[in-house]
Chain A
C-alpha cells in the first residue's frame, strides 16, 4: 500500500465510518474494512477503478466530486478522506466545506507546489514543473488547482478550519527532518487531518 494511505489508515480508529472521495481501486477502504472494521463508501468515476472496487467487495458509488456531496446528510461519516484529488476538482474550497459538513473530520492529501524542486523547475527552466508527483504537461494535466502547504494553511485559517494533524513526506514517502522543519520547501506530499 502507498505510504500516504498507510499513514491515513493509522489515523483512523477502528469501527469508524468513512467516505473516500476519489477512492481509486479501493485499496484504502479494503484495507480499513479488513483491519479496522470500518464501514464506508468510496466515490469514483473511472470504470476500471469501479470494477476493481466491485471485485474487492468495497462499496463504491459512481459520483462526480464536482457535482458536490449534496446526497449525503450532515455528519453522516466520522471521516471524509480525499487523497490526491483536491488539486483536480473545480472548487477545492467548496469540496473542503462539503467534506466537513458530511464528516466530523476530513483527511486530505495533495502534492505540494511549494517543494523546492518544483520552484527550481519553474525558476530555472521557466517551464511548468513536471515531476513524479506531478507527471503531466500543462495542457493535459487534471491538476487545475495546485497549491502549496502555505496556501492550504492560509485557506484553513481564513475559513476557520482547524488543523488537527499534519504530515509532509518526500517522494520516497519518508518524513525527513528537513520536511518537518520546512514543510513548504521540502515536503512533496502534504497530508492533513482537519475539522471545523
Chain B
C-alpha cells in the first residue's frame, strides 16, 4: 500500500520557532573600545524568539561563535531549507524553550551578517571600513550587548548562553556585569586560548593575508575577495572542529573514484569535504571579519585584568554557572573547561559541570546529542522554573 508522506514544511514544525525576521537597531552613543578607539555609531542586527514576560525576567541571550551570527533558530523564508545554526537547541519544547524564554540572538560588532563591521561604510571616508575597522574584543562585544539589552528593556538576563567563543562572552558577561545575569552557560570554551589555539588562528589569518586578492584588506574596492585564503582558513579551522574519530567514522580513507589517480586532484573523501566546506564558507563570510574575530579570540583572557589570576577574576560574578565540555573536543578540550570550573570553585561560586561523552569533537555543542540535550535541558528547565516562580512571587 502506498504510504502517504505528509509534506510538512520544516518551518511549520511544532518544535520550530517558524519564520523569523531579523531586526536592526541603530546606536548613536559612542562605544569606547578596549583597543583605545571609539565607534561613534553602529548598527546591531538581531533576532528574537518567544515572548518577553511582563517583568522582562525571562530573557536569555545567545552569544555566537567564530562563524556564527544572529540567525540561531527558525527559517528566514518558506523556501529556506536550513534552519538557524542552533535550531537543535532553540525552539518550543527544546532545551532553550521558546514557550518559556524570550531568546535574543545578535550578530556581533565586526561581523558580516548585518551588524556594523569591516564591510560597512565608514561614515568618515564614505568607503568600506576594511582594515581600518577597529579591533574588537570579547569585552567590547559584551558592552555592545549590554546596550542592546538596555534598548530591549532587559535589565537582567535569566541566562547568557554560548558555545566556544560564545561561551567566552557568557563568562565575560558574568565578570563585567555581575548584577545583570542570573545564570551563565559556558559550553566548549576555555578561559583563554592556548599557544596551539593561537597557532591555528595564525595559520588561518596568514592564508587570508597572503592571498593576492586581499589587497591589504581593501578588496571591496577591487571588486574581489581573498577567496582562496578564506577557503584555506576554513579548511584548517574545520579540522580543529572535528575529532580524529569523527573524521575516521565519516570519511575513513574512502576514495571518491575508488582508486588512486596518482595526482593532486581530490581523491580522498575527506579532501572533497574540506574543500566543499571552505568553498561554501568563502562565499558567505567576509575575510576581514574572520581576521578580526580570530584576533578577538586570541586576545580573550579575563584573568589578565586581575594579575593573571582567574580565581580573582571569577570572584566578581554573582550568577550561577553551568559549564559543559565534550570528551573528543581537542580545540577546547575538557581540561580547558575544568580550568574555568576550578577557578569558580576556588572563588566559591555556584557551578555545575558536565562532560559529555561523544566522538563529535568541538562541533558537538551545535548538535542534538541525547546526553547533552538531557543535561542542558535539565539545567534550563530549572532556570525557567526559577523565572516563573519569581514572576509569580
Contact residues of A with B, CB < 8 Å?
39, 41, 47, 50-63, 71-73, 76
Contact = CB atoms under 8 A, between A and B. Distances in A.
B379 A71 contact: no
B322 interface: yes
Given A51-B374, A55-B382, A62 B346 contact: no
Contacts of B345: 41, 61, 71-72, 76
Say which size band chain B's interface belongs to.
20 to 34
Nearest to A60: B352
A94 B209 CA distance: 54
Interface in B279-326: 322
B142 to A, nearest CB: 25
Given A57-B382, A61-B353, A47 B371 contact: yes
A71 B342 contact: yes
B375 interface: yes
A57 B387 CA distance: 13
B338 interface: yes
Contacts of B153: none
B350 interface: yes
B348 A62 contact: no
Contact of A61 (B352, B378, B381, B382): B352
13 contacts: A39-B348, A41-B345, A50-B375, A51-B374, A51-B375, A53-B352, A54-B352, A54-B375, A54-B379, A57-B386, A59-B351, A61-B351, A62-B354
A77 B340 CA distance: 19
B341 interface: yes
Nearest to A56: B382
Contacts of A47: 354, 371, 374-375
A54 B382 contact: yes
Interface string B363-393: 0000000010011001101100010000000
Given A47-B371, A50-B378, 6 more contacts: A47-B375, A54-B379, A54-B381, A60-B352, A60-B353, A61-B353
B200 to A, nearest CB: 27
B355 interface: yes
A65 to B, nearest CB: 14
Nearest to A43: B353
Contacts of A62: 353-355
B84 to A, nearest CB: 25
Contacts of A54: 322, 352, 375, 378-379, 381-382
B289 to A, nearest CB: 35
Contacts of B354: 47, 50, 62
A168 B226 CA distance: 74
A31 to B, nearest CB: 17
A185 B338 CA distance: 44
A58 B348 CA distance: 14
Nearest to A53: B352
A64 to B, nearest CB: 10
A172 to B, nearest CB: 33
* Nearest 9 CB-CB pairings of A with B: A54-B378, A51-B378, A54-B379, A61-B353, A62-B355, A71-B342, A62-B354, A55-B378, A60-B352
Contacts of B381: 54-55
B108 to A, nearest CB: 29
Contacts of B322: 54
Contact of A59 (B346, B350, B375, B386): B350
Nearest to B376: A54
Contacts of B355: 62
Contacts of B350: 59
Nearest to A73: B346
Contacts of B374: 47, 51
Contacts of A50: 352, 354, 375, 378
